Structure 1
Amino acid sequence: MSEPSRTEVSNTARSLAAALIGDPFYRAVTVACGEDEAARRNMLAAYFALALLEGEQAGRVDLADAAGHGAAIWTTDAPAAVRQAAYAQREQGLRALLGEQGFAHFTAIVANMEHALAPHGLHDAWYLSIAGIHPDAQGRGLGACVLAPGLAAVDAAGAACFLETYNERSLPFYGRLGFDVAARHAEAVTGRDYWLMLRPAAGNPHAA
């Protein structure tokens, strides 16, 4: 897994923005853009560039292809201090990027999700934080391909993993990759429900 070039990061960030612009979480954190979808797309591209950097520093990033049509970003079993430092750096960037209300939405949604996640005891699990494929490149199998290396690494580490999604239509896709719906939660800031999906550690169907 080589570090992506600046061009790959830029292309990938824009692909993720195109893929996820309709997601309730990302619409809530880009509230400063109002109804300006071009501005929202640009803000999200900058958002995902920060997320890709954080993933490179303290997690795992897998690109869909050399053209930057998408990516999967994971929080892994990297040392806690490394993860905390990378997150703090991204948080600082997001505070400047999103504006006061957008950043307030970001912190509130993250807090709500962490509160809902706490009873599941997933402290040692890997987290698929972001995954997306540019709409123009969907339907070619890139979604499964971009997740395969990370899932193989999860299995090699003997870890469970999880994700959260607002997109009910994605549940069968993730189900085919071994994730099961563990809970459905209402989130107050977005006013929408999201699903928590868990994938047990390889060889241990009862993990997490």
Structure 2
Amino acid sequence: MGVAIRAAGEGDREALARLLDEAFQDDPVSGWVFPGEEHRRVAHPRLMAAFVGIVLAEGRIDVTEDFSACALWLPMPAEGPEPDGAEDDSAVQLREAVDPDNERVEQIGRLTGEVHPEGRAHEYLWMIAVAPGHQGQGLGTAIMQPVLDRCDREGLPAYLEASSARSRALYERLGFTFMGRTVDLPDGPHMWPMWREPQG
């Protein structure tokens, strides 16, 4: 599929946050973090903007030229996502910045952090978004491919948490396998941690 993809920069912040907000408004995990529709419309964009800021500072965001899809990647060292205690601090800071009265903003960071694999350096696909009007056209595969190709060249694994059965199926087609233990959000949906060994 011939899709023009580039690395995003600081000038793309607002457009990326809008794309993520639009793509994840109806996602089961977003619905759990922000259960009230009215509140979600207000707070969810702030969370997506915070994610964009974190990944622009520490990782890489690939985006299609027309902003119909993006992928947020963070490089993870072998010792794990954060030094001991730092992940808890990050989750607290994120909650305070985005939605101070909503403990679920903090809770989801802790729950995904508990299952994040350690011991090998890897690329972490934090989020992938395809605009609702463009889903089902192969953009999800296309936007992930540049980093997956690099992982294969460099012998680097990749990791993600699928937030729906549909996204899990896409990731399985790209070589990811379920790690055997779901992240079970209290009174909410499951997430599927998935790992991909370098291929070829």
**Runs (5+) with no aligned partner, structure 2:** 1-5
Which letter does structure 2 place at the counterpart of 1:60? R
Partner of 1:185: 182
The 8 Å contact of residues 166 and 193 in structure 1, kept in 2 or not, is answered as yes
Residue deviations 1:92-114 (CA, integer Å, cap 9, x gap): 454232122x2x21222222222
Question: Which amino acid letter does the alignment assign opposite residue 128 of structure 1?
Answer: L
Write the distance in 2 (CA, Å) between the matches of 1:188 and 1:140.
30
Distance in structure 2 (CA, Å) of the matches to 1:3 and 1:114: 26
The 5 Å alignment of 1:164-203 reads 164-203=161-200
1:55 aligned partner: 55
- Corresponding residue of 1:206: none
Q: TM-score if structure 2 supplies the norm length? A: 0.79
1:18 to 19, 22, 32: 22
Alignment of 1:75-90 (within 5 A): 75-77=74-76
Unaligned stretches of 5+ residues in structure 1: 204-208
- Secondary structure, counterpart of 2:182 in structure 1: strand
- Are the structure 2 counterparts of residues 201 and 190 from structure 1 closer, same or farther at C-alpha, using a change threshold of 3 Å? farther
Q: Name the count of aligned residue pairs.
A: 192
Q: Is residue 149 of structure 1 aligned with residue 146 of structure 2?
A: yes
Cα distance in 2 for partners of 1:62, 1:190 equals 33
Percent identity over the alignment is 25
